[in-house]
Chain A
Amino acid sequence: MEKKEFNITVYTENQIGLLNRIAIIFTRRKINIDSLNTSPSEIHGIHRFNIVIDETEDVVRKLCRQIEKQVEVLKVYYHTNEDVIWQEMALYKVPADIIAEKASVERLLRENGARAVVIRKDYIVFETTGHREETDNLIKVLQPFGLIEFVRSARVAIIKDSEGFNSKLREFEKEQPGEEVIENEYLNQGQKVFTM
């Protein structure tokens, strides 16, 4: 089986220590994480991880089952790049004088789909958002003008054919309800009680 990029989406409770628990699943198998993003999801108290790795599908499937096994993980999906819409954001800092003198800033921005975020006397910060090749492209263009600093964000990805996790969670609860659920008075109070 050939290796390719997979996007792993993990829905979790918002718990301290969980990032470590999930990261260990990769490091233990000596698998490099190419990109990792974690943020609150659209559902209150549920967090979403986007993890990108270059692996065979077989390995990815097994990893996902191990992740889903963690107590605080609600659901894990994996997708190829074709199955998701994904973006990465990049910021570029370049000296203002050289750019103003030697480049047509306007053309540069238009051709690369970039925008200027900050314009100062000493430097300018540009921003682009897109796939890796797109953000890489602007590095190449700006390098000759004395690129001072560059940073790229982790990948965020939205699953193309997903109905969204909202409905899945409800379905999940319907399919596998906990036995005689006693509502936990501290659940959803997150930080207040569980400050791990």
Chain B
Amino acid sequence: MNETAFAQQETATAAEEKPTVELTGSAALLEALIAEGVDTIFGYPGGAIMPVYDALFDYKDKLNHILVRHEQGGIHAGQGYARTSGKVGVVFATSGPGATNLVTGLADAQIDSTPLVCITGQVFAHLLGTDAFQETDVINITTPITKWNYQVTDANEIPEAIAKAFYIAKSGRPGPVLIDITKNAQVQKFEYKGYTPCNHIRSYRPKPIVRQQYIQEAAELINNAKQPFILWGQGVILGSAENEFKAFVEKSGIPAAWTIMGAGAIPSDHPQNVGMLGMHGNYGPNVLTNECDVLIAIGMRFDDRVTGRLDKYAKQAKVIHLDIDPAEIDKNVQTTVPVWGDCKETLPLLTAAVEQKQHTEWLARFNDYTRQEEEAVINNELHPQEGEMTMGEVIDTLNQLTNGDAVIVTDVGQHQMVACRYAKLNKTRSNVTSGGLGTMGFALPAAIGAKFGAQDRTVVAVIGDGGVQMTIQELGTIMQSGIDVKIMILNNQFLGMVRQWQELFNSRRYSFVDIQSPDFVKVAEGYGIPGRSISDRSDLKEALEQMLNNPGSFLLEVMVTKENNVFPMVPQGCSVSEIRLK
């Protein structure tokens, strides 16, 4: 039987007695992916996964495989895809070095709760443990950085293992899953009985049951609060609870601030959106965290980059924590009322139980701080009158041109903090960044994936001159796949964020942060991608227009001030109310 035709026949006869057909493990794997609705795979072949690639040859019309230039690029692309599409990112890699190249991306996806299914090839089962060519103990290497992993040694296991993998990756608090398949299982023929998705595992509780008692207790605290404050994180987006969240914010009238992972869940210019939390967050939300009486944390995990010193963090406040992961409750901040559950379910219950209110005066205090911050920092950053260009004004100009509708993918460093602070986001799933791991080299490949995940949207990657050189080879992926990604390098000729710390805390001892770059425009040109470099303010708007209007990918290098610092800043080891404006 034609293997590619099998999936259709399978669904047509699903209700009847299941037919069996002889398939190889590799073909069964691809059938399983198709049954899970996968359309795009990022990967890189090699000896131990060749049977899968061979099978893929017959599935070209159903599965779009993107050949990346490095497995790290593949997994970051998978992450970008997952983050914009809300679906599971799928990545293929071979054994040994292929699999170990996934490690950074797995750790990144684990800490940022990104749903991924990674398939790695492995040596023949009979060679396991013999130090065979390209054998690496991938299961043990990836155990601490996966939500689940599993080694398949027999083709019969494949449909079941893939079903579990998808269910675990996307349910509850999402995360990366790795399935390592030995070569014998890939080539082995077996009686394939079709594919049954998994929706239950005895030992796995993806989400805790909602307890009405806690909803009531939380509502009571909120209704009696004088100065309540909402902190939201990516949980709102992962739970597709943006509307439920907005309804809660608007009925309760409470000011709300976001972590970088939560950015965009409600639009940047929503009147109750008071800004960004954390080390380089806004002035008001940081200071007022230590003045609110009730703190409502929704789908966020009190990362130390958000809380600063824990023993001086919101000690005066009663804390309500809404989270799907019970292990997050009390992990860092002691909770008064834990609202376990999926915020898609808990938020409407809470909204129903809270009184309609307006906290006008309290909200005005945030706005006071915003005014102070504008005077001290923002105006100079966004509208400098002279001197070299700032990162902030580049983002501000981008905002004007995209009207806040673009997907912004950032790398790690000063530009990341500037982009997160100033990018205008009208829509959810518009901010793709490496939050928890802070992985340099993330943005270029993640932007490729982000574009595949949101093909009708403009995707702009904002990258530092340091970070772009970590995965610059993915320009080749852009070239070959013909994808449209706008690459904006903010070049300060330094590893800027490290330089900032050295300036502020190591008395300007600039130890190995002075980084030289190639001619990025020429490099792009080598890959057939048009580009341009600018250093004059007068060119900025027009150059950005050129980038955005170019029918395909475009690389724009913007030379920015070399020694500019990102402020405000909560220095490491300080309390959030000790945030510095300069």
Contacts and interface: CB of A to CB of B under 8 A. Distances in A.
Given A17-B143, A21-B143, A193-B160, A12 B203 contact: yes
B326 interface: yes
B143 A24 contact: yes
A156 B161 CA distance: 33
Interface stretch (B147-155, B312-320, B458-466): B147-155
A62 B330 contact: yes
Interface string A162-196: 00000000000001101111101011000001111
Given A74-B203, A176-B209, A186 B160 contact: yes
A195 B160 contact: no
Interface stretch (A63-71, A102-110, A124-132): A63-71
User: DSSP class of A's interface residues: helix, strand, loop or mixed?
Assistant: loop
Given A69-B325, A176-B209, A182 B144 contact: no
B60 interface: no
B561 interface: no
A71 B204 contact: yes
B327 A73 contact: no
Nearest to A45: B202
A74 B204 CA distance: 7
A61 B149 CA distance: 25
B156 interface: yes
B200 interface: yes
A66 B199 contact: no
Interface in A65-118: 65-66, 68-69, 71-74
B18 to A, nearest CB: 11
Counting chain A residues whose Cβ lies within 8 A of the other chain, the interface size class is: 20 to 34
Interface in B145-183: 147-151, 153-154, 156-157, 160-161, 168
A20 interface: yes
A182 to B, nearest CB: 6
A180 B168 CA distance: 16
B196 interface: yes
B333 interface: no
B193 to A, nearest CB: 9
A13 interface: yes
A175 B210 CA distance: 11
Contact of A184 (B156, B160, B327): B160
B506 to A, nearest CB: 28
A179 B156 contact: no
A123 to B, nearest CB: 37
A71 B200 contact: no
Given A12-B203, A62-B330, A71 B157 contact: no
A175 B199 contact: no
A107 B108 CA distance: 64
A28 B148 contact: no
A176 B209 CA distance: 7
Nearest to B157: A193
A12 B326 CA distance: 18
Given A68-B327, A74-B203, A196 B148 contact: no
Interface in B325-340: 325-327, 329-331
Contacts of B208: 176
Contact of A74 (B150, B151, B199, B202): B202
A175 B329 CA distance: 21
Contacts of B143: 17, 20-21, 24
A196 B150 contact: yes
Contacts of B151: 17, 196
B200 A182 contact: yes
B470 interface: no
B331 A71 contact: no
B198 A71 contact: no
Interface in B450-508: none
Contact of B202 (A17, A180, A187): A187
Given A71-B148, A184-B160, A193-B156, A65 B203 contact: no
B157 A194 contact: yes
B511 interface: no
Contacts of A178: 199-201
B199 A179 contact: yes
Nearest to B332: A62
B327 A71 contact: no
B474 to A, nearest CB: 31
Interface string B199-226: 1111111001100000000000000000
A28 B29 CA distance: 34
Given A74-B203, A182-B200, A184-B201, 17 more contacts: A12-B203, A24-B143, A66-B327, A68-B326, A71-B147, A71-B168, A71-B203, A72-B204, A73-B203, A178-B199, A179-B199, A179-B200, A181-B200, A186-B160, A194-B150, A194-B157, A195-B157
Interface of A: 12-13, 17, 20-21, 24, 28, 61-62, 65-66, 68-69, 71-74, 175-176, 178-182, 184, 186-187, 193-196
12 contacts: A13-B202, A17-B140, A17-B149, A65-B326, A71-B168, A73-B203, A74-B202, A179-B199, A182-B198, A182-B199, A186-B160, A193-B160
